[in-house]
Amino acid sequence: MIDLAALTIAEARKKLDGKVFSAVDLAQAYLTEIEKKNKELNAYLEVYDDVLEQAKAADEMIAKGESHPLLGIPLAIKDVILIKDRKVSAASKILENYKASYDATVILKLKKQGVVFLGRTNTDEFAMGGSTENSAFGVTKNPHDTSRVSGGSSGGSVVAVASNMALGALGSDTGGSVREPAAFCGIVGFKPTYGRVSRYGLIAMGSSLDCIGEIAKNVRDAEIIYNAVKGRDDLDSTTISDETYPKVFSKDKLVIGIPYDFALGEGVSPEVRENFKQAVEKLKKFGFKIKDISLKNVDMSLAVYYIIMPAEVSTNLARFDGVRYGLHKDGKNLFDDYKLTKGAGFGKEVRRRILIGTYVLSAGYYDAYYGKAQLIRDALKEEFNKTFNKVDLIATPTTPDTAWKIGEKSDPLSAYLADIFTVTANILGIPAISLPSGFIETEDKKLPLGIQFMAPHGAEDLLFDVGKVFEAIKDN
């Protein structure tokens, strides 16, 4: 029996190479766990029927003496990343039976390493949401309390990892979709610098914000997956190379900026405030320099995000017209075809965002909304650039509260507010990580919380450094 709860990618690598167990043994152990838990948790929309064959191929590579960090490692993939000849639906009826005709760049890279793909995981429809309640195929439940949401939109990937149904996973993060569910489920969620990981083969949501992110049980594992998928890609002209940003060297005493007014501000639950203060104390005690900073524009991030993101959504989703991809409904004429197809294919939240996006981009309103949002985006950039001259990292809670009860946030605005701490990193394109920071007890259940660190463009390494330290000191 393999102890999956205690297993990490780094350890599995050693055990696979040392023939303690085979990739087939490992894959079988995960399949057994999935069989036991997935029905209740709904993390996977599909478990692939060739998992053991993939594992066998990995074993053959190992037998030949090949060794890659992720060879034979079973991973879960969010249902917005294309794997050739497999279904990819973005958890939407409009793509329900759509099969990918090519591999995403990240998938090609993982295939070369001999990764075992377990299946595709649930998400809010087209990644729009923070709970997976917007999936057309049912909610993913939180393993710490199944009456609560997993968070989202990468809830399926996060729950797969948090409940030992995968050793690691890929998600996508447009406004927090990797970090927020990771915080809600007590694991690590990492969003790299914009352009660090190719978006080729990722179903687009907001193209200036989208990032493929890594989900794992600890920081080292997230770093391993990140190293496997990152890199400049000719198929995505927004990708960057290692040289794009100056290398940031870690130093002995990193300075961590805390925007106290924001981090402990209105709408943040008392438990989150307390947990965050304790985390900061621990960082201080360890020797980090803590600096009180003020970010005047950051309050506007959420408004900026909820204008720019739907604007980009409305243009990106125009392609799903029932002619080129997926679902098709026949009407009286072409316009009627569109209407029927989109009406039947898109859920409520997706339609809402397309409508808002179309509105903010329309001729009469462009300057008042989209134009203004871009101006504030510039002001935010300047503010953060200046701040990063004074501090190495910025820390906030990941979310203003714990995972909510399924169905509790039925009005969209209250769900949007949960994104208050995560959207800024996407607006600016900077890297950010969410780390487990402890639990709070509610109704006899222990619900996880997360702390978020943000770093300047290209400074992923600082996040891994501080993350590993925080992991070691958080329980002291």
Longest dimension (CA), the chain: 70
Cα angle 377-383-385, degrees, rounded to a multiple of 5 = 100
The one segment of 61-69, 122-130, 359-367, 443-451 that binds ligand GLN by CB under 6 A:
122-130
Answer for which of 34, 71, 127, 391 binds ligand GLN (CB under 6 A) is: 127
Smallest gap, in angstroms, from Cβ of residue 189 to ligand GLN?
11
Of 22, 37, 78, 217, which is the active-site residue? 78
**Distances 364 to 359, 361, 374, 375 between C-alpha atoms, Å:** 9, 8, 17, 18
By the rule CB under 6 A, 193 interacts with ligand GLN: no
Smallest gap, in angstroms, from Cβ of residue 402 to ligand GLN?
16
Smallest gap, in angstroms, from Cβ of residue 123 to ligand GLN?
8
- What string of DSSP letters covers 176-200? STTHHHHHHHTSEEEE--TTSB--T
**Distances 290 to 270, 279, 285, 435 between C-alpha atoms, Å:** 21, 11, 10, 18
Measured in whole angstroms, the distance separating CA 167 from the mean position of its chain's CA atoms is 16
Annotated active-site residue 78? The verdict is yes
Number of residues that bind ligand GLN (CB under 6 A): 14
- Kindly state the tokens that stand for 22: 């085979």
By the rule CB under 6 A, 133 interacts with ligand GLN: no
By the rule CB under 6 A, 395 interacts with ligand GLN: no
| Binding to ligand GLN in span 243-282, by CB under 6 A | none
**Which is closer to ligand GLN, CB of 58 or CB of 415?**
415
Buried b / exposed e along 106-139 (16+ C-beta atoms within 10 A): bbbbbeebbbbbbbbbbbbbbbbbbbbbbbbbeb
The one segment of 27-35, 169-177, 264-272, 382-390 that binds ligand GLN by CB under 6 A:
169-177
Annotated active-site residue 153? The verdict is yes
Beta strands in 114-200 (DSSP E): 116-121, 141-142, 145-149, 168-172, 188-191
By the rule CB under 6 A, 400 interacts with ligand GLN: no
The one segment of 65-73, 175-183, 384-392, 433-441 that binds ligand GLN by CB under 6 A:
175-183
Smallest gap, in angstroms, from Cβ of residue 419 to ligand GLN?
5
By the rule CB under 6 A, 176 interacts with ligand GLN: yes
Please state, as a whole number, how many other Cβ atoms lie within 10 Å of the Cβ of residue 429. 19
**Which is closer to ligand GLN, CB of 130 or CB of 467?**
130
320-325: long-range contacts, CB 8 A cutoff, minimum separation 24 = 320/94, 320/95, 320/345, 320/346, 322/94, 325/94, 325/95, 325/98
By the rule CB under 6 A, 205 interacts with ligand GLN: yes
By the rule CB under 6 A, 212 interacts with ligand GLN: no
Of 153, 157, 198, 314, which is the active-site residue? 153
Smallest gap, in angstroms, from Cβ of residue 473 to ligand GLN?
29
**Rg of the chain on CA atoms, in Å:** 21
Residue 323, SS3?
coil
Length of the chain: 476
Annotated active-site residue 177? The verdict is yes
Can you tell me the distance from the alpha carbon of 128 to that of 22, in angstroms, rounded to the nearest whole number?
38
Smallest gap, in angstroms, from Cβ of residue 287 to ligand GLN?
33
| Binding to ligand GLN in span 324-343, by CB under 6 A | none
Answer for which of 72, 74, 129, 448 binds ligand GLN (CB under 6 A) is: 129
Smallest gap, in angstroms, from Cβ of residue 1 to ligand GLN?
37
**Which is closer to ligand GLN, CB of 109 or CB of 353?**
353
The one segment of 45-53, 83-91, 156-164, 166-174 that binds ligand GLN by CB under 6 A:
166-174
Answer for which of 125, 233, 419, 460 binds ligand GLN (CB under 6 A) is: 419
Smallest gap, in angstroms, from Cβ of residue 352 to ligand GLN?
11
**Inter-residue contact 179 to 398 (CB < 8 Å):** yes
Answer for which of 38, 135, 164, 174 binds ligand GLN (CB under 6 A) is: 174
The one segment of 61-69, 121-129, 241-249, 334-342 that binds ligand GLN by CB under 6 A:
121-129
User: Phi and psi at residue 109, in whole multiples of 5°?
Assistant: -65, -40
Indicate if the alpha-carbon torsion angle 77, 128, 399, 238 is positive or negative: positive
Binding site for ligand GLN (CB under 6 A): 127-130, 153, 172-177, 205, 309, 419
Catalytic residues: 78, 153, 177
